Structure 1
Amino acid sequence: MARRSQRGPGGGTATRDGRRARTDEQGLVPALARAVRDVEGKVRRGPLGSSGRTTFQVVALLVREERARAKADESLNESRRNEQLKRLDGVATALARTAARDTTLLQLLADDAEVPFEARELKREMLLAAGHEPPPEEVTRTVVQPDPGAERRVVPRSVVSRQLSNPFLVPDFSTPVTREPRPSHLSDWELLGPLFRAFEEGGASSCMELPEPSSLQGPGGHVLMKHQAEVVAAAAAGHRTFLLADEPGLGKTAQALLAAQAAKAYPLLVVVPNVVKTNWAREAEMWTPGHPVTVVHGDGDTVDGFADVVVVNYEILDRHVGWLGDLGFRGMVVDEAHFIKNKSSQRSRHVLQVADRIRARTVNPLMMALTGTPLINDVEDFRAIWQLLGWIDDKKPRADLMHSLVATGLTPVDPGFRPAARASVIDLGIVRRRKVDVAADIPARRVADLPVELDGEAGRSIRAAERELARRMVQRYETALVTRTSGPLSGAGADVSDVSGGIDHDLVRLVARWERDEAAKAESGENVFSMMRRIGQAKAGLAADYTAQLAHSVGKVVLFAKHVDVMDVAEQTFAQRGIRFASIRGDQTRTVRQRNVDAFVQDPEVAVAVCSLTAAGVGLNLQVASDVVLAELSWTDAEQTQAIDRVHRIGQDRPVTAWRVIAAQTVDARIATLIDAKAGLAARALDGSDAEVASSADVQLEALVLLLTDALRAR
């Protein structure tokens, strides 16, 4: 009697008595296996491009979904279910091997990882090719998500008046001339990945060719430095896109304002962090006094709709994105542009939306991104900034960049492509100057580590907590190694290959990632984040004592801390010793913050500024001091550098020393080493440095990897 066959879970067929037909190369799971083998082969040859990363993410998503479906499918008998799960485990193991070679792929496995349009399309295609019907939300090409800030949007009354009367500065409503890329030898190539990798490899210093300035004279008797005047001259000559990435302290604010004046880019929109809004208004009044400036606060009730310069902060942009996109700006400046590196955030989406609307209605607008630290963790942090400037879109280079790449005559497989591609991007408007090169009169800056021993109960408790964290990770590592494909490793995509006589470093990294991810979600319990906070609390008194000694011997000192309770301890110490201080925190109003900054700068009796690392690390000029104390470590070198450069700026006439307080023989010391290693990334990408580039994986993960590895070696 003929046997009836039915569709099996992997896309093959199964006979009625449960035996599978010979269709092992059909269905979804074999397709996933082929795809991951292809990605694994590519990553062995070098860093993955965006198409390879998309394939990796889609395979991981489908493996996760197929595992859940197989476990829930009651029509499968135990043997069939185990067979399907075993095949999926094989694909997951290959994914883990691939991620171990390129650790930047780990972020694609996070539960909250963004799934871009390209990934959704590829996922749909793979499901259809395997004979599966995509879920309804996968079939629709574009899913329109409601804008969570739409109901809060406002239009200030004075802006309505301007839109109705508009007697001055008529916006340019003509249709911009767009140059669509023509079909070329690069039309079918994935180019964004090679472009980013070109900057990771380094090369010559990243600065476009700038014209010689005709004058260094600024308004009101102010004199520009030569490097500042060069950017203004470039804008006057017609250049309209700039990634102004000068090191902090080289006067980027003045360059942007004067470039806008030279380009006649009014009205001008300036998007900034909240803490520097007042400073931008002051700088605009000083450098371009003939152009009225208005600052947007709250719902914009006090906005002057007829001003030439409109300053708005990221935090309230959602309320104003509508009228800002319609006003007819001819220029846009985004300060601290690394704030938009996460393209999935509302902040980034709103900034990019306004930029696109300005380009859609204004011919050749001035677009400037300002940041002294454009790279935080990875070269792909460039992506949102390049998109803001109109150099790329979500998938490919835009016309001007594509035209330049085509002109090289090269493809990404040619040895000379990456240097030529890097030069093409730089010529679009990257400007990066270092203090040592353009401002020789600024004294040297050095970071001096100040190791401290944590004695007493606090020190013993911290060291015990670190040992407990290491013990917990070792136990998890050993359990995973024994259970192999069951228990914690089930579906995790781990490579748990037996490493005789040694440590399975792939598994170490996976266990560290588990610990890091769980710690980020935990509201209580001991983990790497709570441990760093406790270390900061334990160091607070020692850091304050040293700051007090400096204040007595050298004068004004700036102390930076990450947590409020550390700032509280420092301020209590200064109060007990009769040392006057100014407090600069994130929860202060603009008026209070500025009053405290002015007190530190202008009052000779105020000896110390106690600053929040996040709230006061950007936009402030504290060069009246020459010594900085870093009471707590940041997770990135960029944040640390920004803090130091509140003091190491143009106008500083003394050498600057940053005293970094480090708790010896704790994870604090490991993190300091990792931060220093990651500092090489920006140097190599933008400054042409030969410094070794550290792993782009985040510092938290690497610190846990070191902690677990040391514990395993000590067994």
Structure 2
Amino acid sequence: MARRGQPQTRARRNAPRQLRHGRRDDVNANVTPDVYAVLARAVREVDAALRGGRVTPATRTKFQAVALLLREERARVRADEDSSDTRRAERLKRLDGVATNLAKSAVRDSGLMALLAEDAVVSDEARSVKRDMLRTAGIEPSADELPPAEPEAAATEHRVVPRSVVSRQLANPFLAPDAAAVRPSERRPTRLATWELIGPLLSSFERAGSGATACMALPAPTSRFTPLGMELMPHQARLVAAAAAGHRTFLLADEPGLGKTAQALLAAEAAKAYPLLVVVPNVVKTNWAREAAMWTPHRSATVVHGNGDSIDGFADIVVVNYEVLDRHVGWLGDFGLRGMVVDEAHFIKNKSSQRSRNVLALSERIRSFTARPLLMALTGTPLINDIDDFRAIWQFLGWIDERKPLAELMNALDETGLTPADPGFYAAARQSVVDLGIVRRRKVDVAADIPARRIADLPVELDGAVGRSIRAAERELARRMVARYEDALALRRSGGDAVAEGIDHDLVRQVARWEQKDATTSSAGENVFSMMRRIGAAKAGLAADYAVQLARSAGKVVFFAKHIDVMDAAEETFAQQGVRFSSIRGDQTPAVRQRNIDAFVNDPEVAIAVCSLTAAGVGINLQVASDLVLAELSWTAAEQTQAIDRSHRIGQTQPVTAWRIIAAQTIDARIAELLDSKAGLAAQALDGSEEEVGSSADVQHEALVALLTDALSDAVAPAGAHSGATVAEPLWSGAD
């Protein structure tokens, strides 16, 4: 491999070949300066990041990788008996200089100092970065430094083929794509063939000034693919227009809250990219299915759970979460996919991880047999931070491979007429990458498109034993009310009173009042309060995971919950994921409370404020954040609005989004609907009216009325009919 910024020479081409044969100690002395240069540059990058005041996970990873490589190089130089004492001392002196600079950087953050310890746990990401640094220095990592190859038997041991997929294949054996239709990209002879280019391409983003564009040129908006009754925001419609015009690869890096989901679904419609595979984190899997039903109602969508026993093998859109992708990667590779969307694409940044290998393998498979597939990577992570994380994303999109730009990007770079030795190369190279399909808009950039404050519902499925227990408890509560209703009805009949045909809605409301009264005076059995508390606890981990995603993508986040156990569970999740937080609770002294508020507002490293919905919902200013997570629902719209107004207040410069986590197919969803109907959608989502419509008792009562009415309707409904709770429609276009 060539040294960055210089043509490759015969001597440099030979060095990696020697190393591949395991003769690392026999390499000539010219290799060490290359390693030194790579280390010195990495230390400068770490120091620059620390001076910028933001220690990201990628910065810590790079820091640990540098420390590992430094330690190994020092040991190798000391063991090199072929070098003279003078030469060895010179090399060690240079490495010591790098180590000193690294240590000076480490004192800026106590967490970095811990990574220098001999017994520090080395992450897979750090090992991967270290391998990349070796390759940049022209050294092929030895076999023991590479991630262990997964045995073929182990790789396929847990793979499944759902029965409906087999039925699809048998129903139409001609579904396999026509490989002859694929037009391979032609790579013209180029002056840059001997240059190392991946490093300069990444550096081109790090060198970009604050005014450099991070968005490709987009055409005028189109509404041609928007379903009747729906409306895209202008910035969303521009990306769809680009897909309609023939663009097929996108790194969609809009900030959270700008509707990436809707853009991806309608881009697939414009590109006719079906079957479409969507790979997502588990927490948003249900939301993708709901959004698909809204934005592409004429397309069938199926969600893969577990082994996929319940999926529709004939669906146009297949939604699968990262955690189960390994089981399904086999049949998905033969499904004839014409498009693939990877949501929260920074999840694949570690190319040695199983999830990354699966995603990259599917992408390569699609590109090998489909002419111009639609490939979209969705992430809210800013491009100017942690740019190394984008190697895997660029590879997924087919812009680069492990070592070099692929045809389209290489041709674009060649057309600039520049090389990495030319001063203007970096700006031109960055623009070449952006033009391939990078699209990033911030809330402040499109503020005219979106309301100043809005609520986005995020439905989640409560899986496993906890979910089954909650649904069973809800059925038990409904059965108890049904029995009470029937007893009251029988008593009326025995007394000779007239009984209404069908459901007696007056009696339903009376039974709901009895149940509501009992819930406040007795702790025996399930009631509406214990149900909501259990649902809140079950949602805690999912809500906390989503808050972490937001914090890493868009900055500070306010996390609201009603119950202490939900706050405790969320804080445990944040601690496990290495996210710093402040806790604002009702049992704190005024001094502690203010200290925690100040830490969230003033310390750039404190990413999340964990707030009690009742104790922190009034009287504090948290406008440093524009994203909130409502992990539990309030009993009143006013209480919910008060919480949102902790960020939506004077001094806030960005539109505020409140992400409301809702347990689908439970009473949680019904209460969300009731809150919206009480407050009024327009007042709640657009103009921020705080008008109180109904009390908390009203919402509790109406929730019980709805639960009993549904149970009675199910008892008399025809087989297959169901009138259970559904998730409320989103209050804006394209919640992502």
Report the TM-score when normalising by structure 1: 0.55
Matches within 5 A, 1:417-566: 417-444=425-452, 536=582, 541-542=587-588, 547-548=613-614
Q: Give, in angstroms, the shift of residue 362 of structure 1.
A: 0.9
Q: Give, in angstroms, the shift of residue 44 of structure 1.
A: 9.8
Describe the shift of the 1:409–1:86 C-alpha distance in structure 2 as closer, same or farther (beyond 3 A). Answer: closer
Q: Which residue of 2 aligns with 1:254?
A: 262
Describe the shift of the 1:145–1:546 C-alpha distance in structure 2 as closer, same or farther (beyond 3 A). Answer: closer
Describe the shift of the 1:392–1:623 C-alpha distance in structure 2 as closer, same or farther (beyond 3 A). Answer: farther
Residue 297 (structure 1) aligned to one of 298, 305, 313: 305
Residues 1:602 and 2:605 are matched in the alignment: no
Q: Give, in angstroms, the shift of residue 552 of structure 1.
A: 7.4
In structure 1, what is the Cα distance between the partners aligned to 2:338 and 2:673? 38
Residues 1:156 and 2:162 are matched in the alignment: yes
Task: Tell me which amino acid in the other structure corresponds to 2:613.
Answer: T
Is the CA contact (8 Å cut-off) linking 1:174 and 1:362 kept in structure 2? no
Q: Which residue of 1 aligns with 2:291?
A: 283
Is the CA contact (8 Å cut-off) linking 1:272 and 1:334 kept in structure 2? yes
Range that drifts further, 87-96 or 254-263 = 87-96
Q: Which residue of 1 aligns with 2:511?
A: none
Residues 1:145 and 2:162 are matched in the alignment: no
Describe the shift of the 1:69–1:351 C-alpha distance in structure 2 as closer, same or farther (beyond 3 A). Answer: same
Q: Give, in angstroms, the shift of residue 323 of structure 1.
A: 1.0
Is the CA contact (8 Å cut-off) linking 1:337 and 1:385 kept in structure 2? yes
In structure 2, what is the Cα distance between the partners aligned to 1:625 and 1:440? 14
Task: Tell me which amino acid in the other structure corresponds to 2:432.
Answer: S
Alpha-carbon RMSD: 5.3
In structure 2, what is the Cα distance between the partners aligned to 1:188 and 1:323? 39
In structure 1, what is the Cα distance between the partners aligned to 2:246 and 2:269? 12
Q: Which residue of 2 aligns with 1:350?
A: 358
Which SS does the other structure have where 1:242 is aligned? strand
In structure 1, what is the Cα distance between the partners aligned to 2:418 and 2:392? 25
Task: Tell me which amino acid in the other structure corresponds to 2:205.
Answer: F
Which SS does the other structure have where 1:269 is aligned? strand
Deviations 1:604-639 (A, max 9, x none): 3999xxxxxxxxxxxxxx969979xxxxxxxxxxxx
Q: Give, in angstroms, the shift of residue 264 of structure 1.
A: 0.9
Matches within 5 A, 1:207-222: 207-215=215-223, 218-222=226-230
Which SS does the other structure have where 1:178 is aligned? coil
Q: Which residue of 1 aligns with 2:271?
A: 263
Is the CA contact (8 Å cut-off) linking 1:601 and 1:624 kept in structure 2? no
Q: Give, in angstroms, the shift of residue 111 of structure 1.
A: 3.7
Q: Give, in angstroms, the shift of residue 408 of structure 1.
A: 0.5
Residues 1:386 and 2:394 are matched in the alignment: yes
Deviations 1:1-36 (A, max 9, x none): xxxxxxxxxxxxxxxxxxxxxxxxx96695565445
Deviations 1:144-177 (A, max 9, x none): 4326543111111111122233268653433632
Describe the shift of the 1:424–1:205 C-alpha distance in structure 2 as closer, same or farther (beyond 3 A). Answer: same
Task: Tell me which amino acid in the other structure corresponds to 1:303.
Answer: I
Which SS does the other structure have where 2:265 is aligned? helix
Residues 1:197 and 2:203 are matched in the alignment: yes
Task: Tell me which amino acid in the other structure corresponds to 1:603.
Answer: L
Matches within 5 A, 1:584-663: 592=663, 595=666, 598-599=669-670, 601-604=672-675, 650=732
In structure 2, what is the Cα distance between the partners aligned to 1:531 and 1:171? 42
Q: Which residue of 2 aligns with 1:450?
A: none
Report the TM-score when normalising by structure 2: 0.54
Is the CA contact (8 Å cut-off) linking 1:211 and 1:230 kept in structure 2? yes
Matches within 5 A, 1:690-705: none
Describe the shift of the 1:415–1:298 C-alpha distance in structure 2 as closer, same or farther (beyond 3 A). Answer: same
Is the CA contact (8 Å cut-off) linking 1:175 and 1:360 kept in structure 2? no
Which SS does the other structure have where 2:263 is aligned? helix
Q: Give, in angstroms, the shift of residue 275 of structure 1.
A: 1.2
Describe the shift of the 1:443–1:266 C-alpha distance in structure 2 as closer, same or farther (beyond 3 A). Answer: closer
Deviations 1:284-307 (A, max 9, x none): 111111111111000000111111
Deviations 1:198-239 (A, max 9, x none): 222234332212222353672132122222222222212211
Is the CA contact (8 Å cut-off) linking 1:623 and 1:649 kept in structure 2? yes
In structure 2, what is the Cα distance between the partners aligned to 1:65 and 1:95? 15
Q: Which residue of 2 aligns with 1:616?
A: none
Which SS does the other structure have where 2:279 is aligned? strand
Q: Which residue of 2 aligns with 1:371?
A: 379
Which SS does the other structure have where 1:367 is aligned? strand
Residue 63 (structure 1) aligned to one of 53, 67, 73: 73
Task: Tell me which amino acid in the other structure corresponds to 2:166.
Answer: V
Is the CA contact (8 Å cut-off) linking 2:43 and 2:98 kept in structure 1? no
Q: Which residue of 1 aligns with 2:330?
A: 322
Matches within 5 A, 1:125-140: none
Residues 1:331 and 2:336 are matched in the alignment: no
Task: Tell me which amino acid in the other structure corresponds to 1:322.
Answer: G
Describe the shift of the 1:308–1:167 C-alpha distance in structure 2 as closer, same or farther (beyond 3 A). Answer: farther
Q: Give, in angstroms, the shift of residue 67 of structure 1.
A: 7.9
In structure 2, what is the Cα distance between the partners aligned to 1:45 and 1:537? 35
Residue 413 (structure 1) aligned to one of 403, 421, 425: 421
Q: Give, in angstroms, the shift of residue 86 of structure 1.
A: 6.9
Describe the shift of the 1:330–1:253 C-alpha distance in structure 2 as closer, same or farther (beyond 3 A). Answer: same
Residues 1:96 and 2:123 are matched in the alignment: no
In structure 1, what is the Cα distance between the partners aligned to 2:577 and 2:273? 50
Is the CA contact (8 Å cut-off) linking 1:274 and 1:313 kept in structure 2? yes
Residue 250 (structure 2) aligned to one of 242, 264, 269: 242
Equivalent pairs, count: 475
Q: Which residue of 1 aligns with 2:182?
A: 176
Describe the shift of the 1:580–1:355 C-alpha distance in structure 2 as closer, same or farther (beyond 3 A). Answer: same
Task: Tell me which amino acid in the other structure corresponds to 1:206.
Answer: A
% of aligned pairs identical? 50
Is the CA contact (8 Å cut-off) linking 2:225 and 2:269 kept in structure 1? no
Q: Give, in angstroms, the shift of residue 445 of structure 1.
A: 7.2
Is the CA contact (8 Å cut-off) linking 1:547 and 1:559 kept in structure 2? no
Describe the shift of the 1:600–1:356 C-alpha distance in structure 2 as closer, same or farther (beyond 3 A). Answer: farther
- Unaligned regions of 5+ residues in structure 1, if any? 1-25, 74-79, 127-133, 447-527, 582-589, 608-621, 628-647, 653-715
Task: Tell me which amino acid in the other structure corresponds to 2:177.
Answer: P
Describe the shift of the 1:29–1:93 C-alpha distance in structure 2 as closer, same or farther (beyond 3 A). Answer: farther
Is the CA contact (8 Å cut-off) linking 1:265 and 1:330 kept in structure 2? yes
Residues 1:166 and 2:176 are matched in the alignment: no
Task: Tell me which amino acid in the other structure corresponds to 1:371.
Answer: T
